[in-house]
């Protein structure tokens, strides 16, 4: 049994080989872009909102509320970044119920890529809201001697994020394989429902932890959020 989509080649043209991780990642992005376009294509003041638009607005408000509970600094910017992470991971895990679709979250390369995005976003937000000097001074607290250890601590946050996300997906795949071997006619439905629940929990935890890491570097350098900062 193949537990990771990296080993499944979908497109092979000469020396170019695209595995299921790359192709399914493109599919997830296309689905998110397509749904967003369909929902917002008639986004005008004179057009009453439909059911899909109301559902999208409720989702955005829920994400905003969760981000606001973590930080009151640059809520809109943090929500855009963390909300995108949540939607991508949740959509990838949700599409996994389709036969033949392998969630790209089951690939360590995908989780590492998402982690690198968070690792780059943390100093970017810190520098944007406090400046380079303030960010470097924060890493050198309480003494310049501990700077290497603080840098290692920042990197360890990203490592824990990627391993947590990858480990949850892989453990779910292993459990599903064991249960399918015991009772192949009953457990597929149960495991699909379980996978959906776990997928949304993974997306929530990853996005919230990213928001927490970002807010921690902005806490001492930005004012309280203003009404103009809210979406």
- pLDDT tens for 2-31 read 567 777 877 777 778 888 889 999 999 999
Q: Distance between CA atoms of 25 and 5, rounded to whole angstroms? A: 11
| CA nearest to 13, candidates 4, 23, 5 | 23
Mean pLDDT in consecutive groups of 10 residues from the start of the chain, 231 residues: 71 81 92 88 74 82 86 81 91 84 84 86 83 78 78 76 68 60 61 73 85 79 44 44
- What is the pTM (predicted TM-score) of this model? 0.79
Mean of pLDDT over the chain: 78
């Amino acid at each position: 049994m193949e537990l990771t989509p990296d080993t499944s080649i979908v497109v092979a043209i000469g020396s170019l080989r695209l595995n299921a991780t790359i192709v399914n990642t493109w599919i997830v992005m296309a689905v998110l872009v397509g749904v967003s376009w369909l929902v917002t294509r008639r986004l005008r003041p004179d057009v009453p909102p439909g059911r899909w638009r109301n559902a999208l607005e409720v989702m955005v408000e829920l994400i905003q509320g969760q981000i606001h509970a973590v930080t009151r600094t640059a809520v809109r910017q943090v929500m855009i970044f963390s909300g995108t992470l949540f939607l991508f991971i949740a959509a990838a895990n949700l599409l996994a119920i389709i036969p033949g679709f392998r969630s790209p979250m089951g690939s360590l390369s995908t989780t590492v890529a998402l982690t690198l995005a968070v690792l780059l976003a943390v100093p970017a937000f810190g520098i944007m809201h406090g400046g380079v000097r303030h960010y470097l001074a924060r890493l050198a607290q309480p003494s310049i001697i501990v700077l290497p250890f603080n840098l290692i601590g920042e990197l360890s946050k990203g490592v824990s994020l990627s391993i947590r996300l990858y480990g949850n997906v892989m453990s779910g795949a292993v459990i599903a394989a064991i249960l399918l071997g015991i009772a192949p006619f009953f457990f597929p439905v149960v495991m699909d429902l379980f996978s959906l629940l776990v997928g949304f929990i993974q997306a929530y935890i990853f996005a919230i932890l990213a928001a927490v890491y970002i807010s921690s570097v902005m806490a001492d350098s930005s004012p309280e959020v203003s009404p103009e900062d809210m979406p």
